[in-house]
Amino acid sequence: MILGLRLADLPPVGLRVSHADVEAIELLPVTKSNGEVVWQQLEQAVHTTGVPREIVSDHGSDLRVGIRTFCEAHPECCSIYDITHKAANVLKHTLEHDEAWQRFTSLAAQSKSQIQQTAIAYLRAPKQQSKARYMNVKPLVTWGWKLLTKLDQGAAESILPLERPQVEQKLGWIRTFRESLEEWYALMQLIDTTEQVVRDEGIHHKMTTVLQQRLDELEGTESERTRKVKHELMTFVQKEATKAKPDERLLGSSEVIESVFGKLKRLEQDQTNSGFTVLILSVAAMVSTTTTDVIHQAMERVSTKMVLNWCRNTFGKSVQAKRKEAFAGIEKPGTKTGFS
């Protein structure tokens, strides 16, 4: 999926790109994706929009290779690394070999399973993601920090006296991570602030000054690791800023496309477990201005037959359709076998 907007229509500083700001340029379901496929898709999109000024992506291996090939052929276009994915990558390199972090996440998962059916289930840790886990560190760190604060306050009045022994038994281990939590919380502040500045400001020549000032204003634990992360984030933003022309402001985040996919998954519900369905066409509607006039024109210009043909020729059969076809005509076992 390729979403686009004109640079002239980029929301002013402080406002972020929304679904209403973008439009669907291409929707191209594929059975596999690599650099060659991505490059060809981008070249195809040029026939609709012309050569873009920038392409923002999460730098997945297929996207990175395809976009690089495209930019080499079209030097007027630059590639921007989405700030959220870049920050998650910085965080991954910082924490993936941190023994304290590994123990913390393991104990958080264990304690969650131990208390989720008990009276203190309201204190359980948030669900940890199996994928993109370093994009979801903040909820876990925040939980640990809040729990530690609550225990420091003498279990607080919100924890009933009868529950306190169980809280200490199942969650008292959090105290051993006090120094680590302070550092991790400081890292989250650096990440959050950088993401916020890039999302609100965009990419431009003066943004490094803004970011430097905002990061310098942060209070909290300062360590060799936090200084290193701060330097890495600043270096990245400085490099991206050089891609903008004088007095030009570029987009620095692809959060809008992540949001669109999130909404699509909510529409798909359980069907996402088996792959996308023809509901993928709803993406175009999500980012369209659906006035009465637009809907009227769409119903006049696009017939049901056209939609079905597109689905058949472009999308093919869904996993659910193939499953239904494969098991067609097979009757349920009789009740004598115990099935009904």
The reply to whether 218 and 242 lie within a common domain is: yes
Residues of the domain holding 262: 2-84+251-289
The reply to whether 105 and 40 lie within a common domain is: no
Flag residues of the chain having pLDDT under 70.
Answer: 131-132, 154-162, 270-275, 332-340
The reply to whether 191 and 220 lie within a common domain is: yes
Domain boundary among 213, 247, 281: 247
**pLDDT > 90: percent of the chain:** 59
Are residues 80 and 250 in contact, defined by beta-carbon separation less than 8 angstroms? yes
Are residues 138 and 188 in contact, defined by beta-carbon separation less than 8 angstroms? yes
The reply to whether 72 and 153 lie within a common domain is: no
Q: What is the pLDDT of residue 273?
A: 63
301 in a structural domain: no
The reply to whether 240 and 101 lie within a common domain is: yes
339 in a structural domain: no
The angle formed by the CA atoms of residues 26, 30 and 33, to the nearest 5 degrees, is: 100
141 in a structural domain: yes
> Into how many domains does the chain fold?
2
The reply to whether 230 and 93 lie within a common domain is: yes
**pLDDT tens track for 258-291:** 999 888 888 877 666 666 777 888 888 888 877 8
Residue type, position 229, single letter: V
Measured between alpha carbons, how far is 226 from 187 in angstroms, rounded to an integer?
A: 6
Q: Which two tokens stand for residue 208?
A: 């490094």
pTM: 0.84
Percent of the chain as helix, strand, coil, to the nearest 5: 65, 5, 30
Is the C-alpha dihedral spanning 130, 87, 95, 104 positive or negative? negative
The reply to whether 126 and 111 lie within a common domain is: yes
